[in-house]
Structure formats: C-alpha cells, structure tokens
Amino acid sequence: MLCRGESGRKGSVVTSPETNLIQFRAAEQLLAARDPRGAVDLLDNVIEEHPEHRGARLLRARAYFLQARLHSAEQEFEWVLEREPDNAYAHFALARTLQRAARDDEARAHFKLAAALNPRPDFVEAAGFDSFEPPQSGTTDLGN
C-alpha cells in the first residue's frame, strides 16, 4: 500500500515492525554475501522508520565501508559513537575507515580506544600494543 509514511514523504511505504525486522535480517545476509548495495537499500528503509536503531546504523556503516563510501561510513560510525561512546567495535570500524582514507593519526586514536575498551587480540594488534596483561600484584609503576 503506497501512501504517506510517518516521515511524510509522498510514496513512502508504511511498514510493520515485522517487515523492518525481516529487512534488517535480509540486509545482514546480503552483507554476508558481499552485496553491500542491496544491504544499504534495505537498511535505508529500516532507518527511515527507526532512525535510532543502532544495529541498523552499524550495519549500514559496514556496507558503506565495503562500497568504499568512506565519508558515509565515517558519519554512521560517529553517529553510533555519539550515542554509545564505549562501543569498542564502532571505534575499531571507524579506525579502519579512517585508515583506509589515509588518516592514520585519527585512526590510531580509535584503534587504541577500541583496544582499551575490549582487549580482543585483533583490536590490541591494530592499536600497536603487544598485549594487555594485568600488572603483577604489588607493583605500582605508573610510568614515573
């Protein structure tokens, strides 16, 4: 049924929550199948209906990255980080995006944040840290 959607855009299709979930899951499958353009098309609909859906925003950012739409990917990752600054994956993905855009200094800062938030081996390696091992008990070396 074509009508004015909640956004007021003429020709928008009003969708149900179930339809949005189906579109989101289909977008995940398209991205896994290396079809980022198809994923973005579906995610645009989901985000139009649910602009605060962080999962859809992250997925769309990944799709933009795969399309080499680096500015769009950067904007989406930053949108997520404004709302969820402790999202290690978003920091890591933003860092990869910045690195791909030859903005290495900016990327390094986000790699380090990602590793600090979640010491996954890939995050730690990208940050240039050897590892995150807790200090021996009784040591108080703070770098003085």
Residues 81-113 have pLDDT tens digits of 999 999 999 999 999 999 999 999 999 999 999
Residues 3 and 62 placed together within one structural domain of the fold: yes
Residues 4 and 64 placed together within one structural domain of the fold: yes
Q: How many separate domains does the chain show?
A: 2
pLDDT at 136: 57
Residues 65 and 111 placed together within one structural domain of the fold: no
| Host H or E run for residue 51 | none
Whether residue 79 lies inside any domain: the answer is no
CA distances from 95 to 14, 102, 103, 106, 128 (A): 36, 10, 9, 7, 13
Residues 8 and 65 placed together within one structural domain of the fold: yes
Residues 92 and 126 placed together within one structural domain of the fold: yes
What is the residue range of 52's domain? Answer: 1-69
pTM of the predicted model, to two decimals?
Answer: 0.79
Residues 55 and 15 placed together within one structural domain of the fold: yes
Distance CA 27, CA 39 (A): 4
Q: For the chain, what percent of residues have pLDDT higher than 70?
A: 80
